[in-house]
Amino acid sequence: MYSFCGRENSRFAVGHFPPLGFFMSRSELVSSLREVAPTILPSLLMCDFGNLASEIETLEEAGVAALHLDVMDGVYVPNFTYGMTIVAAIRKLTELPLDVHLMMVSPEKYIPQFVEAGADLITFHVETVDDPAAVVKQIHDLGVAAGVAINLETPVSAIASVLPEADMALVMSINAGFGGQAFQQSALDKLDEIRSLPGGEDILLQIDGGINESTIKAATDHGTQLLVVGSAIFKKDDYAKAIENMMAEVTTS
């Protein structure tokens, strides 16, 4: 008997996933993330892939709400990470929502495969597509939530027209492609600008890059709900304590 997002079903063996729509619905996912915000989403880019099951179990025990998966193609960004095979492997190991961040050219060609692999939320970079609204619709038609991302040098105006259709806006606070970079303060103004635009009032706001105990409060003070964290968790011995310490900074007056 296997359980997906709290729903049990005995028809699906390991490696054979339920049909689309069996997992948490798009609206349920967005609502659940909104309810726990602000919250930290660990970026598995920095985890020990040799002990992936153990790493995920440790994060589950720490109470994280979702996992962030960075897919890099070596073209749009200089680094190359993993694809749908690893997403599918992670899906077998957890019922947590998978927030898949596509840092790749022509993401629309691969979105169906990532949904099939188990993605619950797919974010693409507006710089990599000609028609962001069409890609958001493609993602929604496959039954999952859609996020639009802008890199550090991209103005908010690039996603303004698609904010009413998207579920989430991701602001990069480092240059996309590598973990461990320093937080860039210019991202904070973008968060404020998104909130001021039509469709930006209620959209989920996510920030990615350089989030740690020193930067997390500034990000949440500017409205960030979902905080992608890599090094500040995975370079610590105690993941739960690292997350607890960062969240303590959020509540500091």
> Which residues are designated catalytic?
70, 208
Calpha distance 34→93 (Å, rounded): 24
Calpha distance 78→246 (Å, rounded): 29
Pair 46, 231: CB distance under 8 Å: yes
H or E element at residue 28: helix 26-36
Pair 139, 146: CB distance under 8 Å: yes
Per-residue DSSP letter, 162? G
Distance spanning both ends of the chain, measured CA to CA:
46
